[in-house]
Chain A
Amino acid sequence: MTLTLDRITKTFDNGVAALQETSLTLAPGEFVSFVGPSGCGKSTLLRIVAGLTAPSTGRVDWGAGMEPPDLAFVFQEPALMPWATVADNLGLPLRLAGRPRHQVRSAIADALRLVGLEGFRQAYPRQLSGGMKMRVSIARALVTDPQVLLMDEPFGALDDITRTQLNEDLLTLWGEQGWTVLFVTHNLYEAVLLSGRVMVMSPRPGRITADIVIDSPQPRSPSFCNSPAYTAYCQQVATALGAAMAEGASRAVLSP
């Protein structure tokens, strides 16, 4: 399954141009990050891929045999139902799909084991820490066994220690599950650690200004952060990001 974004643009009804023409092809199992300033349209791009927002022009091509439920979305907020237990939150996608009860139960148990929250089946979201809520949110994305995982700044609201922990967990899970991941972040260090490719985007209306391949074996261990290669890649992405920002700034001066 190869995911192709074909000359996608987006201008909102209020006239705000969010995305300039963007094309991209993702191989199966690829982990691609989108880095850019806030408001650069990276979240919009993700929503277009998810089918939550319609593109103004262009199209998303899923290749053959791809069904929409093969895709899962992780939001910046955990987006859990406060009135439902962890187990019921996890079971939601399957219940909406009308799966039989026993199947839902075993999928919930599997997902809880994967994210290390076996003891919290019957807990309510308010009883969990921010990091645990995000784990539940990720586990909910896992239950449908998706091929493509879309993550919109999933760790943006978490503290550094929790973020590091979840980055490690995500690397492990990705190694086991082999999803195609589209990962939006404003943290370039996170992007370099996790991805095979980092897309650098310009300020609004966004476009991809650099496509940087992080050429290091995947899935990586956190010790990759201590390597000289990691530092070099971070610098490369930072430079590209600086250039993209400068382009945005000059455009802002030129246009009235």
Chain B
Amino acid sequence: MSPPSLATRLLTAIAPLALGLIALVTWEMAVRINHIPPYLLPGPWLVAQTLVKDWPVLLPALGVTLKITLVAFAAAVVSGLALAMLMAQSPWVEKSLYPYAIILQTLPIAAISPLIIIWLRNSTFLALVICAWIVALFPVISNTTLGLNSADANLQDLFRLYRASRWQTLRYLRLPSALPYFLAGLRISGGLALIGAVVAEFVAGSGGANSGLAYQILMASYNLEIPRMFAGLVLITCLGMGIFLVLSALSNALLRPWHESALPR
């Protein structure tokens, strides 16, 4: 159980970077040797140059997408947690509500986002947030509900024995039991909020009312500015990775003292 040595840690950090570098070099070589025109496939070097050159346009776009994602994610976390806690109060509430949570989950967002955008044509931002929220909500609900219902049976008996109130049982037993599940749900939901925001932006983009990253990608592809489109994709990927890393760090920090998933091996 000794912590990994410095060499091992360095290797763990270097290995994925090295693999990525090899892939990029191969990509660049393939593009150059085969003389692939940039409007079909730009090399990574050109994408990097475009990223720097178009930064003044891309950065505000990144900000817009990030804002939609974060607001939708926050809304999904708060509403998902509240709904899960409501459903945990009685099997009846759960049986009544859960089917609708599943229906929400199965709605194809690309199909309904035009409607939502039309309904809320006065606030595209709100429409996009709602689209992303619909996509991000379900993992929080399903994971938290599972967690709230998986409190140890003996501990539940113990709480009954000591006449714990419903609130005390929720506060001291069911919420802590649900925490690892909830945090796993956040990691799924964070990525989905971004996907929801991007998909909704694509749909709204043709209206030209917004300037998020997906809109930039869409415009770039219309104008055959393929390097710029790739630069936008790179930024969205980085955003997704960033969200995942932050949520993983949060999960580790909260579970470190006690949960198997956060223990050093």
Residues of chain A whose beta carbon lies under 8 Å from any beta carbon of chain B: 47, 50-52, 68-69, 71-73, 75, 77, 79, 81-84, 92-93, 95-97, 124-126, 144
Knowing A96-B163, A126-B258 touch, does A73 contact B157 (C-beta < 8 A)? yes
Contacts of A93 in B (CB 8 A): 162
B97 at the interface (CB under 8 A from A): no
Contacts of A92 in B (CB 8 A): 158, 162, 172
Which B residues from 145 to 181 make CB contacts under 8 A with A? 152, 154-155, 157-164, 168, 172-173, 176, 179
B91 at the interface (CB under 8 A from A): no
Docked-complex contact A52 and B160, CB < 8 angstroms: yes
Docked-complex contact A73 and B161, CB < 8 angstroms: yes
Docked-complex contact B176 and A81, CB < 8 angstroms: yes
Docked-complex contact A79 and B172, CB < 8 angstroms: no
Docked-complex contact B154 and A83, CB < 8 angstroms: no
B257 at the interface (CB under 8 A from A): yes
Residues of chain B whose beta carbon lies under 8 Å from any beta carbon of chain A: 152, 154-155, 157-164, 168, 172-173, 176, 179, 257-259, 263
What's the least CB distance linking A174 to chain B, in Å?
A: 20
Docked-complex contact B176 and A79, CB < 8 angstroms: no
What's the least CB distance linking A95 to chain B, in Å?
A: 7
Q: Which of A47, A51, A72, A82 contacts B258 (CB 8 A)?
A: A82
Docked-complex contact A68 and B163, CB < 8 angstroms: yes
Docked-complex contact B157 and A96, CB < 8 angstroms: no
Docked-complex contact A79 and B152, CB < 8 angstroms: yes
Docked-complex contact A75 and B159, CB < 8 angstroms: no
Contacts of B172 in A (CB 8 A): 81, 92, 95-96
Most chain B beta carbons < 10 A, residue from A50, A93, A124: A93
Closest to A150 in B: B161
What's the least CB distance linking A66 to chain B, in Å?
A: 14
Contacts of A124 in B (CB 8 A): 257-258
Nearest 5 CB-CB pairings of A with B: A79-B154, A75-B154, A96-B162, A83-B176, A96-B164
Knowing A82-B259, A83-B176 touch, does A71 contact B161 (C-beta < 8 A)? yes
Where chain B touches its partner, the secondary structure class is: helix
Docked-complex contact A69 and B163, CB < 8 angstroms: yes
Q: List 17 A-B contacts (CB under 8 A).
A: A52-B157, A75-B154, A75-B157, A79-B154, A79-B157, A81-B155, A81-B173, A83-B176, A83-B257, A83-B258, A84-B176, A84-B258, A96-B159, A96-B163, A96-B168, A97-B163, A124-B257
What's the least CB distance linking B249 to chain A, in Å?
A: 19
Most chain A beta carbons < 10 A, residue from B154, B161, B172, B173: B161
What's the least CB distance linking B163 to chain A, in Å?
A: 7
What's the least CB distance linking A101 to chain B, in Å?
A: 15
Closest to A72 in B: B161
Contacts of B155 in A (CB 8 A): 79, 81
How distant is the Cα of A225 from the Cα of B7 in the complex, in angstroms?
57
Contacts of B263 in A (CB 8 A): 126
What's the least CB distance linking B167 to chain A, in Å?
A: 11
Q: Which of B158, B257, B259 contacts A79 (CB 8 A)?
A: B158
Given A83-B258, A96-B163, output 12 extra A-B contacts at Cβ < 8 Å. Answer: A51-B161, A52-B160, A73-B158, A81-B172, A82-B259, A83-B257, A96-B168, A96-B172, A97-B162, A97-B163, A125-B258, A126-B263
Docked-complex contact B168 and A83, CB < 8 angstroms: no
How distant is the Cα of A75 from the Cα of B259 in the complex, in angstroms?
22
What's the least CB distance linking A76 to chain B, in Å?
A: 8
Contacts of A83 in B (CB 8 A): 176, 179, 257-259
How distant is the Cα of A83 from the Cα of B161 in the complex, in angstroms?
20
How distant is the Cα of A207 from the Cα of B258 in the complex, in angstroms?
43
Closest to B151 in A: A81
Knowing A83-B176, A95-B172, A96-B159 touch, does A77 contact B154 (C-beta < 8 A)? yes
Contacts of A71 in B (CB 8 A): 161
What's the least CB distance linking B95 to chain A, in Å?
A: 20
Docked-complex contact A69 and B154, CB < 8 angstroms: no
Contacts of B163 in A (CB 8 A): 68-69, 96-97
What's the least CB distance linking A225 to chain B, in Å?
A: 30
Docked-complex contact A50 and B152, CB < 8 angstroms: no
How distant is the Cα of A217 from the Cα of B258 in the complex, in angstroms?
44
How distant is the Cα of A53 from the Cα of B162 in the complex, in angstroms?
14
What's the least CB distance linking A124 to chain B, in Å?
A: 5
Contacts of B173 in A (CB 8 A): 81
Contacts of A68 in B (CB 8 A): 161, 163
Contacts of A50 in B (CB 8 A): 161
Closest to B175 in A: A83
What's the least CB distance linking A54 to chain B, in Å?
A: 12
